[in-house]
Amino acid sequence: MNRECEKVREALLDMVYANASMGDIARHLEECSECRDYVGALADIAVVLSAQRDDCTPLPGVESAASSGAVAGASPDWARLSSTIERGVKLRMARERRTVGIFALSAAGILAAVWTPLLARSPHAFLALQVAGFSGIALFYLPIHVLRARRGDDM
Amino acid sequence: MLVERAKRNDRDALEELFRVNYPLLLGALVRITGDARAAEDVAQDAVLRAIVNLEKYEPRAKFSTWLITTALNTYRNRLRCARRELPTEHVSIAGVDSAEDLALGRLATSDAASLLGALSADKRQVFVLKHYYGFTYQEIADAVGCPVGTVRSRLHDSVQMLRREIARRGLI
């Protein structure tokens, strides 16, 4: 097997799996019996494995398992899947709540650390800082809100 | 879009999304693990991980591709744990080098999957994803965690081994 054989065999894989063009491959195949043999091997594998390709029990109303790549002997445990989904949703929501909680606590901590001394010294400076702070937050979030609204996301 | 609704914790969308993709996921895992029960466990773990990390899914890839990739990561983690737990003498007595090969011992008894059992675990993953599910080389590389060149060579080796196995068994 020479270097060209190697290249052609890679291309053969692509061709068989519908990714490549035929031009040079066909020319090489005419001349090389080893590679013709290799094409035969790919065809044999496809035949043998397609005979083993089978179905599994699809859920009523869900697309056919055969078209979705399911396999014989694999019967989905739908009840278990439902409870896994339920568990996943709970974990997901718990994580979201945790994230919001951590963010809120951090924000409260920072505010308390920065603003409490200011408030104690000068209420007017505190008020000005508060206005500046909220304006900054609004300016930061406005473009994000506009973009998400355009995309149709919920906030 | 279904995924977008699912990301917003729409329970119906989540159910539909995973029920549509579950047979494919389970099918791939049965072929890769060679053990229907283990495949079901890995698939359930993968679904759980996928739901929790749904934000990480980007629609440039098919959802099923992402789901199978997540499942293969789960499977690899389980194998790592199993290897740690597997006693050395067990390995030498069985004449195998990994927990996955023990699963393959069971695989060999199943007619439907016995041919794939001739491939090593790494090669079988690559071959199954390409042959049955039409993953691109890049998608396979991402799913199994190796370079594209390695995917190509594993696929090539798989073809050679399957060819020998088919001839040895006189299947054609």
B30, A49: Cβ pair inside 8 Å? no
Does B46 lie at the interface with A, CB-CB under 8 angstroms? no
How much is the average pLDDT of B12-30? 92
Q: Radius of gyration of chain A from Cα atoms?
A: 32
- B52, A93 Cβ separation under 8 angstroms: no
d(Cα B151, Cα B147) in Å, to the nearest integer? 7
- What is the tens place of the pLDDT at every residue in A94-144? 988 898 889 889 988 988 888 777 777 777 877 887 888 888 888 888 888
Q: Decide if A66 is inside a domain.
A: no
Q: Residue A117's domain spans which residues?
A: 78-151
Q: Are residues A84 and A123 in the same domain?
A: yes
Q: Judge whether B96 and B105 are in contact, CB under 8 Å.
A: yes
pLDDT tens digits along A51-89 = 655 434 444 444 443 444 556 556 888 999 999 999 999
Query: What is residue B110's three-state secondary structure?
Result: coil
CA distance A102 to A42: 56
Query: Do the beta carbons of residue B103 and residue B33 sit within 8 Å?
Result: yes
On whether any CB of chain A is under 8 Å from the CB of B166, the answer is yes
Residues A130 and A89 in one domain: yes
> Is A90 part of a structural domain of the chain?
yes
CATH numbers and ranges of domains, chain B: 2-169 (1.20.140.160)
pTM for the whole structure: 0.68
Residues A145 and A82 in one domain: yes
CB within 8 Å: B51 and A92 = yes
B153: contact with A, CB 8 A cutoff:
no
Per the domain annotation, does A70 fall within a domain? no
- In a mutational test of the A interface, the residue from B130, B131, B139 whose CB has the highest number of chain A CBs within 10 Å is B131
- Residue A71 belongs to a domain: no
The answer to whether residues A38 and A95 belong to one domain is no
- Is A76–B9 a contact, with Cβ atoms under 8 angstroms apart? no
Residue A65 domain-assigned?
no
Same domain, A82 and A145: yes
Q: Nearest-CA residue of chain B relative to A41?
A: B163
How many domains does chain A divide into? Answer: 2
Report how far residue B62's alpha carbon sits from residue B41's, in angstroms, rounded to the nearest whole number.
23
**Alpha carbons B172 and B158: distance in angstroms, whole number:** 17
Complex ipTM, two decimals? 0.74
Q: Are residues A45 and A89 in the same domain?
A: no
Q: Do B21 and A68 touch (CB under 8 A)?
A: yes
Looking at the fold, whether A84 and A146 belong to one and the same domain comes out as yes
Is the pLDDT confidence value at B110 over 70?
Answer: no
Chain B contact probe: residue of A44, A50, A64, A85 with most B CBs at under 10 A: A85
Q: How far is A102 from A78, CA to CA, in rounded Å?
A: 36
Q: Give the lowest-confidence range in A15-19, A74-78, B56-60.
A: A15-19
Q: Is the pLDDT of residue B109 over 60?
A: no
On the 0-12 / 13-18 / 19+ scale of CB atoms within 10 A, B81 is: exposed
Q: Per the CB < 8 Å rule, is A65 touching B23?
A: yes
